[in-house]
Amino acid sequence: MSSKLRKAGAGDGDECNLDMSPMIDMVFLLLIFFVVNSSAIVVRQDAQVVPPVADKGKKQEEINGRIVINVFQDGTFKDEMGEALLSDEDITEHVKTKKEANDLKSYTSKLHLRGDKDAVFKHSRKVIAASAKAGVIQVMFATYVTDK
């Protein structure tokens, strides 16, 4: 009986082929979907700001929702794009605008404070107070992280 099944199952040399073109089309569609829906987030760093070294600092993994403000040694402030923020009102307005954009994307806004290692803390405190007026209460201080 097994020989009858073998003879019935055996064709005239035709092999079973699988058409892979729909599978390849699906892979390309998924690739396009993920590329279109992803967004590249780059935190720009001002080369003139030298953050302090922290032995117990840790790298922040969450990039979404960061509002970067650079604090220079002379007490001046610039945003991530290098535009000067001259007064407390400018800082508050800048943070408020960025916070509204983050709220639309459902990100939690965090102040990423990049203070120069030689800057006095009172300048950083001024930025923190201005951002608190805009509704941002989480603050991250940029430091160099060591492996000690």
In this prediction, residue 79 carries a pLDDT of: 82
The class level of CATH for 53-145 reads alpha beta
- The domain spans of the chain are 53-145
d(CA 143, CA 14): 68
In this prediction, residue 26 carries a pLDDT of: 93
Amino acid code (one letter) for 133? K
In this prediction, residue 16 carries a pLDDT of: 74
Q: Are 94 and 50 in contact (CB under 8 A)?
A: no
Would you write out the chain's pLDDT as a tens digit for each of its 148 residues? 556 656 655 555 567 778 888 899 999 999 999 888 877 666 666 666 767 677 777 777 777 888 888 888 888 888 888 888 888 888 889 889 999 988 888 888 888 888 877 777 888 888 888 888 888 888 888 776 666 5
